[in-house]
Structure 1
């Protein structure tokens, strides 16, 4: 298994990521935000475990915060994974296809992936509306959940746009 690869590009930086100088900055910002969230999750977990097993007093809401932060990290990383073409693919059949089929398959799969991501983004946004409508909050800390659904929808939509650009790039390159 390997990441999405636009044929005709090389591992040194071909493809959409190399075409946009902003993508490097965006990926660095995403990496820093994710690193901060992961460190916060680690500290929360350590405090919770120490409190639970040494002082018999777990950190209230640590599980909820960890769940929310993990969800945020996953969706924040989605556009970076899309830019890097790091989505999981299984290519046991496609490696055997000739170049003519590849020129059609690569942009078609990218276009289909963009459409699927767009539908997921739309459904996440609707879920956010539904959760906001009934005032959904976490159980112990009473944190609103709708903003996370909206964030997930926006970031999935951004990933869909990136994938759509990749489809256009692949179609223009003829591969």
Structure 2
């Protein structure tokens, strides 16, 4: 199940990147060659990029590829480094859980008000909801990583 889940996320990430490329190429060709830019291209690019980040976040968390600074790793004992790894995983999990909570509040507000994007009229609550799911799943993954730093 986990393998399938991550495979789906990788596939969805690839599709989102392809969509970003297609939107950008179409807009550039339309704007500079045909003098007819793609309507809503800027907004669509922003939304696709947000969805890409939310789709890739659990993958990044599972592979422990978040940005780290290990200035002292070469001078500390392995036990201390292990403790730091556990602390970092817990802090990451708590941060992601906080983001999920805050995005949940935003999503509820957007759903209640029927918030839509300006140019394309896309429902914003769906995007925030994707962020909630992504951050919540990533928090669980990070917490699981605390057991094996």
What is the TM-score with the length of structure 2 in the denominator?
0.92
- Please tell me whether residue 105 in structure 1 is matched to residue 84 in structure 2: yes
Output the CA distance in 2 between the equivalents of 1:95 and 1:119.
32
Q: Is the 8 A contact 1:23 1:83 kept in 2?
A: no
- Aligned counterpart for 1:85 among listed residues 64, 73, 88: 64
Asked if 1:114 is matched to 2:86, the reply is no
Q: Which runs of 5+ in 2 are unaligned?
A: none
In 1: Cα distance, 2:74 partner to 2:128 partner: 37
Which stretch of structure 1 is more off in the superposition, 56-65 or 68-77? 56-65
The equivalent residue for 1:153 is 132
Q: CA deviation at 1:169?
A: 3.3
Determine the C-alpha separation between the residues in 2 that align with 1:141 and 1:165.
Answer: 39
Secondary structure at 1:90 match in 2: coil
Structure-1 residue corresponding to 2:37: 58
Q: What's 1:133 paired with? A: 112
Match for residue 49 of structure 2 among 70, 74, 80: 70
1:46-79 deviations in Å (ceiling 9; x for gaps)? 1111111122111111211111111000010000
Q: Give the alignment's TM-score, normalised by structure 1.
A: 0.79
> Would you say how many aligned residue pairs link Structure 1 and Structure 2?
149
With 40-49 and 22-31 compared, the bigger mean Cα shift is at: 22-31
Match of 1:142 among 121, 131, 145: 121
Map of 2:147 onto structure 1 = 168
For 1:83 and 1:149, how far apart are their aligned partners in 2?
Answer: 21
CA-CA distance at 1:24 after TM superposition: 3.5
CA deviation map 1:18-48 (0-9, x unaligned) = xxxx444333221111111111111111111
Q: CA RMSD in A?
A: 1.4
Q: Which runs of 5+ in 1 are unaligned?
A: 1-21, 171-175
Give the 4+ runs in structure 1 shifted more than 6 A.
Answer: none
